[in-house]
Amino acid sequence: MRSFLSITPDADSALAIERWSSLCWPAVSRLVPAQNYHLTLVFLGEINSEQLGTLQEMLDNVQHPSFEMSLNEVGYWPESTTLWLAPGDAPEALCDLAVKCKSIANRLGIKAGKKRYHPHLTLARKTKTPPAMPLIEADFKVQFDSFQLYQSLLDSDGVRYKELQSWALT
Ligand code: 2AM
């Protein structure tokens, strides 16, 4: 099962971001829909059912505070042709949570990669040309009170993320 841990904006924030994104990039055909918005904490890749059970038990013991974050920076990675929205200043609480999740993944034998953590919400993938920078500035203040384990599924409509479990940030 292909899976990842992430934080997810609440429905109102996600819709506001989606409205803004479709106003800024009306010509981009591959804009990610609001229901797929998330910021990955750690990408786990393929995990088996035994790893899944242990992972869930370990995550049950995570104690972490909730936090607010401003999503106010837009960028484009040419290598992955990804247009993204990110916190200009990532809160320590987010980075610490990502470290905790990565360390749990490592303890499970999942190689979570050595790349520097760049928290981001993907707005579009596989854009043919780099989209123009937005005319409307981004500044979305979002409160994160939980984090989630998702399964990534590929069906005829494209990629779909199924929430398997959510844990409260308190
Ligand atoms: P992305 O949004 O920049 O593509 C599910 O695929 C999530 O895990 C996405 O947010 C994706 O980031 C992230 N991710 C991180 N490493 C990945 C990898 N090696 N393969 C696929 N997705 C990865």
- Residue 9: predicted pLDDT: 98
Q: Exposure string (b/e) for 85-108, b if CB count within 10 Å is 16 or more?
A: bbbeebbebbeebbebbbebbeeb
Q: Is the CB of 40 under 6 A from ligand 1?
A: yes
**Contact assessment for residue 5 and residue 148, using Cβ atoms and an 8 Å cutoff:** yes
- Residue 112: predicted pLDDT: 79
| pLDDT tens digits along 102-140 | 999 999 999 877 789 999 999 999 988 899 999 999 999
Residue of minimum CA distance from atom 2 in ligand 1: 122
Provide the token pair at 70: 């401003």
CA 29 to the chain's CA centroid: 20
CA-based angle 63:36:103, to the nearest 5?
30
Ligand 1 center from residue 63 Cα (angstroms): 25
Q: Please name each of the domains of the chain with its CATH number.
A: 2-168 (3.90.1140.10)
Residue of minimum CA distance from atom 4 in ligand 1: 122
Q: Is the CB of 151 under 6 A from ligand 1?
A: no
Q: Is the CB of 43 under 6 A from ligand 1?
A: yes
Q: Is the CB of 13 under 6 A from ligand 1?
A: no
| pLDDT tens digits along 13-34 | 999 999 999 999 999 988 999 9
Residue 2 has pLDDT above 80, yes or no: yes
d(CA 39, CA 79): 19
Residue 71 has pLDDT above 90, yes or no: yes
- Residue 111: predicted pLDDT: 84
By three-state DSSP, how is residue 53 classified? Answer: helix
Residue of minimum CA distance from atom 9 in ligand 1: 40
Ligand 1 center from residue 43 Cα (angstroms): 6
What single-letter DSSP state applies at residue 132?
P
Residue of minimum CA distance from atom 12 in ligand 1: 40
Mean pLDDT of 131-157: 94
Ligand 1 center from residue 91 Cα (angstroms): 21
- Residue 89: predicted pLDDT: 96
Residue 158 has pLDDT above 90, yes or no: no
Question: Model pTM?
Answer: 0.95
Q: What is the mean pLDDT of the chain?
A: 95
Percent of the chain with pLDDT over 70: 100
